[in-house]
Amino acid sequence: MSEAASVVVGKVVDLLFGMAKKEISYVCNCSENVERYKNEAERLSGMKGRVQQQIDLAKSKGEVLLEGVEEWMKKADVYISDATEFINQEAQEKRLHLCTLRRCSKTAIKKTFSLQQHQENGKGFETCVSLPAQSARFTDLYQRKNLDNIDTQKSILEEIIRAIEDDTIQIVGINGLGGVGKTTLASEVAKAIKNQFADIVFITVSRTVDVKIIQERVKVPASRIMNGEKVLIILDDVWEELKLEELGIPCGSEYMNCKILLTSRSRDVCAAMNAQKNISVNPLQEEEAWTIFERVVGKSEWDDTLKEVALKIVRECGGLPLFIQALGKALKDKEIKIWKATLRRLQAPMDGDVSYKKEGILQLKLSYDHLEDEVSKSLFLLCSMFPEDGNIGLKTLTHYGLALGIFNNPDSIHDTKDIVQLAVESLKSSFLLLPAEFFFEDNRREEEEELFKMHDLVRDMALFITFKGDDKFLVKSGKGLREWQPRSDVIKSYKKISLMENKICKLPDYEPDLPHLDTFLIQMNELSNVPDEFFRGMKELKVLDMRGNNISSLPQSLTQLTMLRLLDLSGNRSLCEISLLGGLSCLEILKLRRTGITNIPEEIGQLTNLRILDVYYCNDLSYITPGVISKLIRLEELYVRLLEDVDCNFIVELSELTLLKILHLRVWELHYIPKTESLIEFDIGSPICEMGLYKRCLEVSRYKCSWTMPIRKLIQLSEMLTLRGIGDLDNILPDLYQEGFNELREIHLLQCENVRSLVKTCDLDGIQTSNERGGPMKTKGKFFPLLELIRLHSLNSLELLWDNPHQYISFCNLTQITIHFCSSLLKLFPISVAQGLVNLKYLYISYCESLVNVISDGDEQTTGSEIELVKKDTNIVFSFYRIELHNLPKLESFYSGYSIIKYPSLEDISVGDCPSMKRWSYGENHTTKIKFYHEERECSIDDYIAGQHEKNGNFTKRRG
């Protein structure tokens, strides 16, 4: 017990000694502890001053202070204040008492530690107290435009927003003419949907792409995209394809949270960048343009005079918002005389002064400057020679360019058309050309393959370029001119002159000095004669277009045009004599369509460089001098139509034209078809039939020769085939088989008395080709794969179209069958064949007095592919849209079987003069879109027909 007690006592003594020692230390070291506290307070004060400097600098930059900075500064103030108070109080005390010394020393040690800890906590604030000032987001600064009553842009805006909100679309393209409002729409989109995205970045790319700047701009947004945040990146004014991955923009299926909106003047650029949605922006309607103009000038009330001027000014802006706003700002608060002067300048010819159109013209010219292809640039400028708002034809433009040598010696005119087509598509993609309003009759009459036009301001831009350049144009087309009396000193420098579509009836009776002129366009005027000396001063002329006048004779000076390559005299119906054209040795294109010529004289045979000869629709043409056609060895296109039943021996000469690519030949006596291996386009037949809609049309009427290889070859290539009055024809296939009917889209059979069926399937399996080598049947896929229309008329021996399905036959694209006056026809085809007509929509049958059923139930023996008969409970779906059955006295039913038939697309049924028809079929019929009623109750089509039969049997039922 004594040992344990002594241990405890020892520990207590040690503890008391330690405590005493510590307390004595407080007293002895009081001065040092207070001094240390004072020094730490001074260091904290210095540190606080440095932090304050950082705070002042950050606030001057508008930066945001880091969280905790201000709290640290407040605590530092408290600590420094406490230290000052303590030190002052300690200095006044006399330190006579040990307790006072102990207290001061102990407090100083504790407060010194707190100061040291606060300094440690604030070390980082000496170098950084703020975040860099965040610039205002684009969407915060942008002020939305008033699109009320601007439906063109409002609807496009909604379409763009829908595309961006579509989760399956990542890249959206906005394209349109310069100044049409693409950037504005992109800005409106950003403002409208800003709350849907964590960040929206608007980057103007422009023609000169600075990749480094773009990469810097997208660095932070790209990080946010990688972290899964939703970001919209707008790339404005894109001129060429950008590789998004090279710009540092995450895209693809892994980053659908990144949406990209492009604006470009080119549809092709947006397509190249894989825009899943490409939206074109059109110019404003006139009413919308006026609304914007009113808002810009700040007027809603107008006096009549000023408003009339203002409306005309707005029309000159061509619906481009950029131009409308520029003019509106310039005219705001100006006197009416300034408005009138502005209008005069806007309506004046483009003579180099573009002060009133400067912004619009120069904006548009950027698109022209960006064209890399010189062919596209040259063709674009040629388009400016046509009247304002006038249609421009692809073929005309091709021929002009060919004669002017714009192209790099293509092998054929057909190749040249491909070059022009590509150039036109490029120009349309950049909105430098626009699709024309399509009028089919005008298009067919003018023989143009495609029509397009120019926006008014784009045309002004092109005329501005031609006025400034070396290749100077004088364009007065469509100005209503009645005469043209130019000053020689003014026009001498021009290379191209267009006076087309005026009312000019008189040309100068002197010799205009135009030594550089290569193009003179004076078509569609009212000229009846041209002075003999008129062309003498145009030695370099290559293109002369005088079509659509009433010229009766050619001037002698025409023979001076030894460089002339294109001469178009079409539509001069009084022009009969063309012998003097034989001296134009360089002529490549000669168009005499719809002239009054009666013959093609011997002199035309001297034009050995001729590549196109067009004498179509020359109603008085009755003689082609023998030997002329065969001398035109470079001829690539020939257009001949002879209305009179005259000697057609010139056809034999066609075999000498080894370069012939296009042949339009309409004559009465087609007794010979020469070898024309090179043909890629043809329209051959009698003169009473109009041209077809396709590039390869053949009509054989009352053919008296054997089915030779050349005619079989043409049949094989034909897209539209018409056979009329052929007596020795039993069927189309296999009788006319050569190597298939892979191109055929329409077939018309008329008055072929011995035709019993369209296709005789029973003879196909063992058929031998009729070529010289013989051998098994050659097929490239199936027969008739593209056939869309069958028209049969007055085939008195026709019993059915075809009897069974066959492995070599496909009518999957057939949409229409028309049959009239086929007195022996009993049925069209069995149900097994009908099932394969998946696209047949229109069926018209009339005046077939023996027809009992349209579709039979399939009792025939199958051949070829061994198709099984259709079972009674089979569900069959037909695609018919309209069915018309008229004057069919023996017709009992549409379908003679029991299958269930569905007609989901049928909207129109017309039955008339079918007295034997008592039902539609023996099975169920479902017409989804047509309802039938008998005695005010809904009923089946069979009950309806039975009810109508009791009356007169006639009925028409349409959808609804």
The structure's pTM equals 0.77
Looking at residue 811, what is its pLDDT? 85
User: Residue 864's pLDDT band (boundaries 50, 70, 90)?
Assistant: very low
pLDDT at 775 over 60: no
Q: How far is CA 443 from CA 47, 446, 484, in A?
A: 88, 5, 30
**Is the model's pLDDT at 716 over the cut of 90?**
no
Report whether 943 contacts 934 (CB < 8 A).
yes
- Separation CA 604–CA 625 (nearest Å): 9
pLDDT recorded at residue 36: 83
* Contact by Cβ (8 Å): 297, 326: no
pLDDT tops 60 at residue 865: no
Whether residue 474 has pLDDT greater than 90: yes
Residue 54's alpha-carbon distances to 60, 132, 234, 657, in angstroms, are 10, 13, 37, 92
Helix (H, G, I), strand (E, B) or coil at 89: helix
Give CA–CA dist 667/646, Å, rounded.
9
pLDDT averaged over the chain? 84
Q: What is the mean pLDDT of residues 909-933?
A: 90
Which SS3 state, helix, strand or coil, does residue 903 take? coil
CA distances 340 to 101, 329, 333, Å, are 100, 16, 14
pLDDT at 134: 59
Model confidence band, residue 806 (pLDDT cutoffs 50, 70, 90): low
Quote the pLDDT of residue 345.
79
Measuring CA to CA, how many Å separate 530 from each of 497, 533, 546, 581, 954?
Answer: 16, 8, 10, 15, 65
CA 853 – CA 893 distance, rounded (Å):
5
Q: Residue 786 above 70 pLDDT?
A: yes
* pLDDT of residue 227 exceeding 70: yes
Q: How far apart are CA 145 and CA 675, in angstroms?
A: 68
- Judge if the upstream peptide bond of residue 221 is cis by omega within 30 degrees of 0: no
Mean pLDDT of 176-202: 90
Over residues 104-114, mean pLDDT: 81
Band of residue 301 on the pLDDT scale cut at 50, 70, 90: confident
Q: Which of 709, 711, 819 is nearest to 758 (CA)?
A: 819
N-to-C CA span, the chain: 119
- Whose tokens are 């043209």? That residue is 484
Residue bearing the bigger pLDDT, 96 or 788? 788
Amino acid at position 40, single letter? E
Count of beta carbons in the 10 Å neighbourhood of residue 550: 15
pLDDT tens digits along 820-836: 999 999 988 888 888 88
Does the structure show a pLDDT above 70 at 512? yes
pLDDT for residue 938 is more than 90: no
Q: pLDDT (tens digit, 9 = 90+) per residue, 25-83?
A: 655 777 787 778 888 888 888 888 888 888 888 777 667 788 888 889 998 888 888 88
Arithmetic mean of pLDDT, 716-737: 81
Give the CB-side neighbour count of residue 691, counting CA atoms within 13 A.
22
One-letter identity of residue 650: F
Q: What is the per-residue pLDDT for 706?
A: 59
Under 8 Å between Cβ of 854 and 833: no
Comparing 151-165, 227-241, 695-709, the range with the smallest average pLDDT is 695-709
Which tokens go with 217? 């701009």
How many other CB atoms sit within 10 Å of the CB of residue 866?
9
Least confident among 287-296, 529-538, 867-876: 867-876
Residue 274 has what DSSP assignment?
T
The pLDDT of 415-438, averaged and rounded, is 88
pLDDT reported for residue 128: 83
pLDDT by residue (tens digit) across 614-624? 999 999 999 99
The share of the chain scoring above pLDDT 70, in percent, equals 85
Q: What is the pLDDT of residue 869?
A: 46
Q: Does position 94 have pLDDT exceeding 50, yes or no?
A: no
Amino acid 147 reads L
Asked if the model's pLDDT at residue 517 lies above 90, the reply is yes
- For 9-34, what is the mean pLDDT? 61
User: Between these two residues, 450 and 549, which has the higher pLDDT value?
Assistant: 549
Average of per-residue pLDDT across 298-324: 87
Determine the pLDDT at residue 803. Answer: 67
CB count in 10 Å sphere of residue 286: 13
- What pLDDT score was predicted for residue 866? 37
Gyration radius of the chain's alpha carbons: 45
Residues 6+ away with beta carbon under 8 Å from 112:
33, 36, 37, 40
- Answer yes or no: is pLDDT of 871 > 60: no
889 Cα distance to chain centroid: 51
Q: What is the pLDDT of residue 735?
A: 66
State the burial class of residue 521 (Cβ atoms within 10 Å of its Cβ: 0-12, 13-18, 19+). Answer: buried
pLDDT at 457 over 70: yes
| pLDDT tens per residue across span 376-395 | 999 999 999 999 889 999 99
- Residue 457 near residue 357 (C-beta atoms within 8 A): yes
Residues 6+ apart with CB under 8 A from 16: none
Higher pLDDT, 733 or 331: 331
Q: One-letter amino acid identity for 733?
A: L
- Residue 516: closest CA among 538, 542, 486: 538
How distant is the alpha carbon of residue 496 from its chain centre? 31
Closest CA to 790 of 763, 756, 828: 828
What pLDDT, on a 0 to 100 scale, did the predictor assign at position 175?
A: 94
576: phi then psi, degrees, rounded to nearest 5: -120, -35
pLDDT reading at 218 higher than 70: yes
Q: Is the pLDDT of residue 179 over 90?
A: no
pLDDT tens sequence across 833-854: 888 888 999 999 999 999 999 9
> Looking at per-residue confidence, does 229 or 5 come out higher?
229
Q: Centre a 10 Å sphere on the Cβ of residue 922 and count the other Cβ atoms it contains.
A: 15
Categorize the per-residue pLDDT at 358 as very low, low, confident or very high, splitting at 50, 70 and 90: low
Q: How many CB atoms lie within 10 A of CB 339?
A: 19
In whole angstroms, give the CA distance from residue 572 to residue 568: 10
Phi first, then psi, for residue 887 (nearest 5°) are: 55, 55
Name the band, by pLDDT with cuts 50, 70 and 90, for residue 893: very high
